[in-house]
Structure 1
Amino acid sequence: MRVKKMPVITKISVQKKNQSRYNIFLDKVYAFAVDEDTLIKYHLVKGKELSDQDLTRIQHEDEIRKAYHSAIQFLSYRMRSALEIRVHLQRKEWSDSIIDAVLQELTDRKYIDDYEFAKAYVRTYANSGKKGPIVLKRELTNKGISEDTINAALEEYNKEHQVEDAIRLGDKYAVQYKKLSERMLKRKLEYILSTKGFPFDIIQAALEAIDYEKDEELEWKTLKGEAEKAKRRYKRFTGHEYRQRMQQALFRKGFTIDMINRFLDEDTGEE
């Protein structure tokens, strides 16, 4: 029986556009390319014979190396979770077996660590005061981090720190919405802090500490502006019904009954 002759490496050359990759020629014909790690791992030198099994292993290894370098480039911009890297490589159409091998190597080399990633994520956004624990937990879950890992990472963001951030954020928006009545302002701040991911107990603690000091002259001016709009809506009403509707409309805007009655008394007196 005639034994099939194995191909022989007759030439190895560095690629012009990427000098970390090498072109391999078998029996004087270009066959495939590999990176330096694969070249060294499989002792690819001129004159070496390669079996079909060798070729399959080498080409599979080279696919892993290319996917690995793609993942390293993706990691160069910022830390990533394992799921983010998996999704990135899936979009590049690497097979699951290749991706699994890459993730294992990245883990072994400590290039990815979901716990460290979660801690860094919490520190970044907790220190900025822009995201509360509920939002952080949801976003980390979407990045493939397990609940236990998230909870462990969030231990660094204790309740005292959360309240401080909620107060700081609340004070900022209190200035922005200073034209609102105090009651409406509190409602607005409660809504904003909830959308930022702060839990109910933290929001309530923060609302007690936020500076609501109002400019009485500004609040009176704001009430008068709202009252003029309400007057146009209810001009067809008179007497008690007109007063009641005005009170209800202005109370819904968050103004106190005393301030509303003061306006109505003065407005009626002027008329």
Structure 2
Amino acid sequence: MSKISRITTQKKHKDRYNIFLDDGKAEKYGFSVDEAILIEYRLRKNMELDDETIKALIHKDTLHKSYTLAINFLSYRMRSKKEIYDHLVKKEVDDEHISKIMEKLIAEGLVNDRQFADAFVRTRMQTSSKGPMLIKQELMQKGVDEPIAGEAADLYTYDVQYEKAKKLAEKKLHSGNRKSFRQQIQQLQGTLMQKGFSGDVVQAVTAELQEQKDDAAEWEALVKQGEKLLFKHQQKLSGFQLRNKMKEALYRKGFTIDLINTFLNENLEE
């Protein structure tokens, strides 16, 4: 049996206390506890503690410190269950303690994957250019079950998708690109799909963008591309072979045959 001889506040952590014990022979440091444990067990000077009680106090304090790690991790933003579990594993918390901490957090309503998923989708809608399918993937990577992630992604309505996808597409379309309009549209379709927008939204947005084709910009892009190709091929080819090679190359770049023929007629000798 040991007796508490002193209780001192830690210098760097004012909410933690060092417990010194006297076993009848000499005073020595025993263990430390959080203020919550000190109050719960009413620890005080001259209080007698047996070995089992000391062991229980150390175990209780270790669990409390691990729980505090989880609370601190949650203080910055909402977290999924997997994120908290992974954080505690990284901090080398005992598996037994992790299970108890997770149970407590869930019981207290501090961890709820459905609420987390809904909040995550709303935040991504406001702060990113990502579509719902990509956001759903992010949720699943964070350990949220597919049905919950899918329901949360449904908060990203068609109208919101359309406006965000259209804004993103128009920004890229008017960024001084020197490619053909058709090639730009094709690249935009790929970009929007990669961003996680649904196929019907991508189709609707690109269909509307077709009306924004600028003939002057298209001609300027063709001239720029055509001059590069002409410089490349006319050193080895001429006549029909050069014309045919130019026509094939420019068509693959998305320019219309009529526009290509106009350029070739102006720049190649018959």
Query: Residue in 2 aligned with 1:3?
Result: none
Deviation at 1:129, TM superposition (A): 4.8
Q: Assess, with a 3 A threshold, how the Cα gap between structure 1 residues 225 and 179 changes in structure 2: closer, same or farther.
A: closer
Does the 8 Å contact 1:114/1:145 carry over to 2? yes
Distance in 1 (alpha carbons) for counterparts of 2:67 and 2:208: 51
Aligned alpha-carbon RMSD (Å): 1.9
Distance in 2 (alpha carbons) for counterparts of 1:178 and 1:15: 63
Aligned: 1:22 with 2:17:
yes
Query: Residue in 2 aligned with 1:158?
Result: 157
Does the 8 Å contact 1:22/1:36 carry over to 2? yes
Amino acid in structure 2 at the alignment position of 1:167? K
Query: Residue in 2 aligned with 1:49?
Result: 48
Distance in 1 (alpha carbons) for counterparts of 2:52 and 2:77: 38
Query: Residue in 1 aligned with 2:237?
Result: 237
- Percent identity over the alignment? 40
- Superposed structure 1 runs of 4+ greater than 3 Å apart: none
Number of residue pairs aligned between Structure 1 and Structure 2: 265
Deviation at 1:26, TM superposition (A): 1.7
Distance in 1 (alpha carbons) for counterparts of 2:210 and 2:249: 26
Secondary structure in 2 matching 1:265: helix
Give the structure-1-normalised TM-score. Answer: 0.90
Q: Deviations over 1:88-126 (max 9, x none)?
A: 221111111122222222223322222111111101112
Query: Residue in 2 aligned with 1:259?
Result: 259
Deviation at 1:56, TM superposition (A): 2.1
Distance in 2 (alpha carbons) for counterparts of 1:142 and 1:97: 25
Amino acid in structure 2 at the alignment position of 1:245? K
Q: Deviations over 1:55-85 (max 9, x none)?
A: 2221111111111222222222222222112
Does the 8 Å contact 2:8/2:18 carry over to 1? yes
Unaligned runs of 5+ residues in structure 2 are: none
Aligned: 1:224 with 2:219:
no
Amino acid in structure 2 at the alignment position of 1:251? Y
Q: Assess, with a 3 A threshold, how the Cα gap between structure 1 residues 211 and 120 changes in structure 2: closer, same or farther.
A: farther
Q: Assess, with a 3 A threshold, how the Cα gap between structure 1 residues 87 and 11 changes in structure 2: closer, same or farther.
A: same
Distance in 1 (alpha carbons) for counterparts of 2:102 and 2:57: 19
Q: Deviations over 1:139-197 (max 9, x none)?
A: 11111111121122112112232222211211111112543211101111011112211
Aligned: 1:12 with 2:7:
yes
Distance in 2 (alpha carbons) for counterparts of 1:211 and 1:123: 31
Deviation at 1:259, TM superposition (A): 0.5
Amino acid in structure 2 at the alignment position of 1:266? E
Does the 8 Å contact 2:21/2:28 carry over to 1? yes
Deviation at 1:248, TM superposition (A): 0.8
Distance in 2 (alpha carbons) for counterparts of 1:248 and 1:196: 32
Unaligned runs of 5+ residues in structure 1 are: 1-5
Equivalences for residues 60-99 of structure 1 within 5 A: 60-99=59-98
Amino acid in structure 2 at the alignment position of 1:53? E
